[in-house]
Amino acid sequence: MRKAYYYAALAVLVAFVVLALLAPWVAPYDPNAQDLLSRLKPYSAEHWLGTDEYGRDQLSRLIFGARVSLLAAVEVVAVGLLLGVPSGVLAGFFPGLIDGALSRISDALMSVPSLVLALTIVAVLGQGLGSAMFAVGIVFTPRFFRVARASTYEVRQETFIEASFAIGCSWWRVAWRHVLPNAMSPLVVQIAVVLGAAITAEASLSFLGIGVQPPTASWGGMLSSAYQNLYEAAYLIWAPGIAIALTVLAFTALGDEARVALGTRQPVGA
Amino acid sequence: MAKSYPRRRNFFGRVVDRVEAVCDVSFSLGHGETLAIVGESGAGKSTVGRLILRLIEPDRGRIVLDGVDLRAMPRRALRLHRRHMQMIFQDPFSSLDPRVEIGRSVEEPMLLHLGLAADERRGRALALLKRVGLDESYARRLPSGLSGGQLQRVAIARALSLNPKIIVCDEPVAALDVSVRAQVLNLMAELQEEFGMSYLFISHDLSIVRAISDRVAVMSKGRVMEIGETEQIFAAPKNDYTNELIRAIPAMAHG
């Protein structure tokens, strides 16, 4: 049963990624082509998912929107990993002053409501999806930091780390070649979870109008414009809403599966 | 040489009480000699081993290897100097990186210290593994595919790869089955003849110590109680504590 759920999640994600990659070829229409004569049309043979207030084909926008949303999620994770993992390894490696300082910064970041923090960062960096996702990446950095720190600290206690020092490894080499590879598995879980959360974050920011700028399609942006036409064309919210929900669920399922798969691994060295 | 640890700190983080883990320990170790450090658990044996390699920093004292004071050495220089001193750890199952193939683990010290070409390094690693009784097929395996005795052989090969002057052996056979202990100990003795390094052999098992060491230092509560030739210590212990330890050997072990 759990396996089936996992395969379904994997299938959903693969489908979205393939659609996103092949968007120009599989999308029936240009996602930004307006057709004011057929605006706010419900589902039909020509427009499977209907059209929005400018008469743009919803299916095409959904497919192109997948590109934006998935890319945004990847950017969030990349920023989070790049900032969180090195600092986390450093903190786990050097308990005391360095750990204290880095952990306080992380705690401070976590104590600020994430959306507010993201809004502030966007205000500083300027609007646009790139800076919005960079902001979300910073918001998620403490998560990666904490996981990297905890598992580094754990691996640090192993004898083979002392052995690495004994043969003359620099601390840099020990951290990079011996600690990090052994501390990766909890990070993999975290990556899946944050990918899901980032999709939601992109949707929220685009919904608020500070993420993707029109006319570019994104799931959050579609949701936002569907909301504005809720009374005339309620059906418009379904496609982006379900796409977001499915993707987030799929990433979460993947994260759960990774947690189980990696959690039962044999203890280090045995 | 001495090392103490904070036992209690006061409200402001100032240390008000310290544990003397190792106190005024002093000894010398000759070329090609085996000095055993014995004592009950918590006596400070392993701490001494690690202090000598500067894996832990001593509070005071000197560690001299062939006329060079290791304690005065800056970290970078110390790192390069580590090729002369290696360590074999008690727990063979956790002393090798579980994600690194055996062959690569043996190569690593050479990679760090000797400017060798990759294939020459590989060749040497394979030769070392062969010398400790493991054929080429082991080089590609991960530590999880080997037994404790085999892993300890790998650890020995790794320690030998730089032809060190001294190897600190922290209870190298304590975690092994009794049946493979003798094999590993014999191998260590053979290799000492062959390569001429000194062993600092940390153990609580006096029957093993008697078989392998030239001299013995008896430790208790962080201090050396007695130090001398192995046979002399076993035949006529001067110290009460030593006497007690020797009497605690099961009679069968004398064989």
pLDDT of the residue at A181:
86
Across A47-51, A93-97, A177-181, B225-229, least confident range: A47-51
CB proximity under 8 Å: A 91-120 to B: none
pLDDT at A24 over 70: yes
pLDDT band of residue A80 (cuts 50, 70, 90) is very high
A178 touches chain B (CB under 8 A): yes
pLDDT digits (tens, 9 = 90+) for B225-253: 888 888 888 877 777 778 777 777 766 54
Give A179: exposed, middle or buried? Use CB within 10 Å, 0-12, 13-18, 19+: buried
C-alpha span between B142 and B99 (Å, rounded): 7
pLDDT at A78 over 90: yes
**For chains A and B, what is the number of CB pairs under 8 angstroms?**
63
C-alpha span between B225 and B236 (Å, rounded): 14
Q: What are the angstrom distances between the C-alpha of A102 and each of A94, A109, A138?
A: 11, 11, 14
CB proximity under 8 Å: B 177-196 to A: none
Averaged pLDDT of chain A: 81
pLDDT band of residue B122 (cuts 50, 70, 90) is very high
- Domain range for B76 is 3-90+165-254
pLDDT (mean) for A230-234: 74
Domain-located, residue B100: no
Between residues A82 and A253, the one the model is more confident about: A82
Contacts of A163 in chain B (CB under 8 A): 87, 89, 95-96, 155
3-class state of residue A39 by DSSP: coil
B145 touches chain A (CB under 8 A): no
Contacts of B100 in chain A (CB under 8 A): 178
Is there a contact between A266 and B144 if contact means CB atoms under 8 Å apart?
Answer: yes
Classify the complex by whether its ipTM is higher than 0.90, answering yes or no: no
Smallest Cβ–Cβ distance between B97 and the set A160, A168, A270 belongs to A160
pLDDT of the residue at A43:
72
| Domains annotated on chain A, with CATH | 2-263 (1.10.3720.10)
From B87's Cα to the closest Cα of chain A, the distance in A is 7
pLDDT digits (tens, 9 = 90+) for A109-121: 888 887 788 888 8
Look up the CATH number of the domain holding residue B32.
3.40.50.300
pLDDT (mean) for B52-70: 81
From A261's Cα to the closest Cα of chain B, the distance in A is 17
From A76's Cα to the closest Cα of chain B, the distance in A is 29
Contacts of A164 in chain B (CB under 8 A): 97, 108
pLDDT at B213 over 70: yes
pLDDT of the residue at B1:
52
pLDDT at A127 over 50: yes
Q: What are the angstrom distances between the C-alpha of B81 and each of A165, B66, B111, B252?
A: 12, 12, 14, 43
pLDDT of the residue at A47:
66
Bond prior to A240 in cis (omega within 30° of 0):
no
Domain-located, residue B35: yes
B144 touches chain A (CB under 8 A): yes
Domain-located, residue B78: yes
Q: Which of A155, A160, A171, A172 to mutate to test the interface with B (most CBs of B within 10 A)?
A: A160
Domain-located, residue B66: yes
Domain-located, residue B64: yes
Domain-located, residue B109: no
Domain-located, residue B102: no
pLDDT at A168 over 70: yes
Between residues B213 and A22, the one the model is more confident about: B213
pLDDT of the residue at B3:
55
A167 touches chain B (CB under 8 A): yes
Smallest Cβ–Cβ distance between B79 and the set A162, A170, A270 belongs to A170
pLDDT (mean) for A13-36: 76
pLDDT band of residue B18 (cuts 50, 70, 90) is low
pLDDT at A14 over 60: yes
Between residues A202 and B155, the one the model is more confident about: B155
pTM of the model: 0.78
pLDDT of the residue at B25:
77
Contacts of A160 in chain B (CB under 8 A): 94-98
Domain-located, residue B9: yes
Beta bridge partners of B65: B68
pLDDT band of residue A79 (cuts 50, 70, 90) is very high
Number of domains chain B contains: 1
Is there a contact between B93 and A270 if contact means CB atoms under 8 Å apart?
Answer: yes
Smallest Cβ–Cβ distance between A168 and the set B80, B89, B96 belongs to B80
pLDDT of the residue at A265:
46
